């Protein structure tokens, strides 16, 4: 299988779906020039009617995308920094997410919002956040975050074909990562996790860039005689409860890792569900490793202290 970068895999998903369905359009700031490389070359093929540059106003062009979706198109909205999704929160939470429900099923909102999240070094608080947890509480929104180039392609294609609004997070640290990517049509079902490494002593649940840190930690733990199973959620809403429970039933211990802030994070939801419904499977407390409850600092030393590192994951696993 050929290798591609994460960004190239997203481009391939766009191209695949835009050739398949002329109703698919992409709009956002600098999508013609392709700020992050995920729309590179698409303007040359599809032109300005389908690759649409917008003004710098996330709330406005998100609402334009919602209107386009309600009238029959399948728009993909690019928000260059996930931090600025808060500017588009009203359109997403109060219009896109509930509209199918409040219309009694008469209207669909086949909208994808691709947002670039996570710290990439020295970008400070407003260009470094992982705000996935802020959208967990909104009924009607699906949320995906791939960790590999193959998943980047398969989840984007599936998101575009979904008839409801999907937030698709691309972690900025992964855009240049290379990996095998299937040729031709490649679709991954939303809501299904992937076991990245099998183990018997401990279940690690993660998503996005920290999946790779968990794999590094699992390798280090293996040298200490500890066998860790690593589960990549891939989809945060709906998350694959069955896969996590099956793993915990085998290992009896659960460690949840994320690079978003710990308080009210994605890990909080996973931990609560497991504790509420499956606590009899556990032989120890559920442990969470996450970013500190502070803004993301600018200084490299402070940024490293803010984010969960591989050593922190190893310490938490050993303690558990």
Q: Is 43 a catalytic residue?
A: no
- From the candidates 43, 122, 127, 278, which is the catalytic residue? 127
What is the phi/psi pair of residue 4, to 5°? -140, 160
Burial grade of 274 (CB within 10 A; 0-12, 13-18, 19 or more): buried
Q: What is the spatial distance between Cα 11 and Cα 150, in angstroms, rounded to a whole number? A: 12
* DSSP helix/strand/coil, 48: coil
* DSSP helix/strand/coil, 290: strand
SS3 annotation, 210-269: HHHHHHHHHHHHHCCCCCEEEEECCEEECCCHHHHHHHHHHHCCEEEEEEEECCCCHHHH
Long-range Cβ contact pairs of 30-36 (< 8 A, separation 24 or more): 30/80, 31/78, 35/80, 36/7, 36/80, 36/116, 36/170, 36/172, 36/175
DSSP string spanning 138-167? -TT-EEE--SSHHHHHHHHHHHHH-SS-EE
Q: Which residues are CB-contacts of 256 (< 8 A; sequence separation ≥ 6)?
A: 204, 205, 206, 266, 267, 270, 271, 286, 287, 288, 289
Annotated catalytic residues are: 127
């Amino acid at each position: 299988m050929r290798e591609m970068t994460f960004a190239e895999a997203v481009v391939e998903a766009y191209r695949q779906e835009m050739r398949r369905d002329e109703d698919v359009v992409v709009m956002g700031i600098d999508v013609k020039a392709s700020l992050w490389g995920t729309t590179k070359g698409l303007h040359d093929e599809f032109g300005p009617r389908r690759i649409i540059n917008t003004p710098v106003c996330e709330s406005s062009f998100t609402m334009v995308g919602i209107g386009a979706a309600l009238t029959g198109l399948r728009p993909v909205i690019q928000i260059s920094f996930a931090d600025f999704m808060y500017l588009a929160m009203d359109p997403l939470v109060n219009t896109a997410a509930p509209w199918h429900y409040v219309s009694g099923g008469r209207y669909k909102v086949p909208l994808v919002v691709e947002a670039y999240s996570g710290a990439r070094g020295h970008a400070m608080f407003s260009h470094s956040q992982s705000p996935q947890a802020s959208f967990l509480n909104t009924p009607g929104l699906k949320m995906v975050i791939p960790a590999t180039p193959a998943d980047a392609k398969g989840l984007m294609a599936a998101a575009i074909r979904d008839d409801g609004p999907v937030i698709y997070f691309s972690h900025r640290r992964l855009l240049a990562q290379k990996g095998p990517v299937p040729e031709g049509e490649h679709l991954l079902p939303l809501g299904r996790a992937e076991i990245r490494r099998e183990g018997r002593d401990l279940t690690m649940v993660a998503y996005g860039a920290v999946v790779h840190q968990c794999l590094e930690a699992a390798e280090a733990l293996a040298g200490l005689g500890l066998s860790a199973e690593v589960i990549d959620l891939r989809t945060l809403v709906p998350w694959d409860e069955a896969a996590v429970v099956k793993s915990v039933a085998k290992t009896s211990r659960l460690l949840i890792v994320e690079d978003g802030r710990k308080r009210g994070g994605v890990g909080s939801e996973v931990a609560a569900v497991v504790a509420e419904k499956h606590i009899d499977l556990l032989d120890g407390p559920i442990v969470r490793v996450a970013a500190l409850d502070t803004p993301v600092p600018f200084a490299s030393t402070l940024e490293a202290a803010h984010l969960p590192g591989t050593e922190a994951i190893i310490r938490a696993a050993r303690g558990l």
